Amino acid sequence: MRRPVLAAALLAGIVTASCQQTAQAEGAVAAPEAAVQADEAPGRKVAIFAGGCFWGVEGVFSHVKGVTSVVSGYHGGEKKTASYDVVGTGRTGHAEAVRVTYDPAKVRYDQLLRIFFAVVTDPTQLNYQGPDHGTQYRNALVPMDKEQARVAAGYLAQLKRLDLWKRPIVTAVEPYKTFYPAEGYHQDFMANNPDHGYIRRWDAPKVQALKRMFPDLYKPAFTRN
């Protein structure tokens, strides 16, 4: 949702506590098609991904065809610590994550995984992504059912057999706990703040990489909550 102007001004003062503005976006990687494809029943599904600052993760998946909702939030810790300032301490067990609702008739879970590893996250960075450091920025997959768990395990194994990155893959598969939506000003952040310094330098290139590398899955419109 679109936040008030005052909230935007206040946000500029607290951004340095979490998502930073000090680095250029890293290059995308040509992740392969999944050898283990998802076999999902009809009807909307939910997937959870943690891949660093949730602004960019949300921004990329919001431009994927078949995705009907992307919510930024916190996963892995308790309800009482599910707030931006507390999660930013890195001591809550939470990761900044996104909850993606999608139609498997238009985009399968394995295709979302491919996008995640190709343009969203660097799977070799342990407890950080780019300029953002702390356990809250870990990259992780959170399967929501047995089929997603099967496909996630298969794709990770496939990637680990390849030499796409110079360092070992450290992406974890974490059991689902409760997902807590983040504060309103974090939702649709890229769409609401296209000229924000962090968005322009770090996240907008990821969306451009999605458009370039996955033209059949890219959609120009941003999926707003």
- DSSP per-residue letters across 48-109: EEEESSHHHHHHHHTTBTTEEEEEEEEESS-GGG-SHHHHTTT-SS-EEEEEEEE-TTTS-H
133 φ, ψ (degrees, to nearest 5): -115, 145
Nearest to 12 by CA among 185, 165, 181: 185
Q: Catalytic annotation on 19?
A: no
| d(C-alpha 170, C-alpha 91), whole Å | 20
Euclidean distance between CA atoms 218 and 82, whole angstroms: 31
Provide long-range contacts, Cβ within 8 A and 24+ apart, for 12-18: 14/84, 14/85, 15/198, 17/84, 17/85, 17/88, 18/53, 18/84, 18/87, 18/88, 18/96, 18/132, 18/136
Q: d(Cα 15, Cα 152) in Å, to the nearest integer?
A: 32
> Residues 19, 28, 29, 53: which is the catalytic one?
53
Catalytic residues: 53
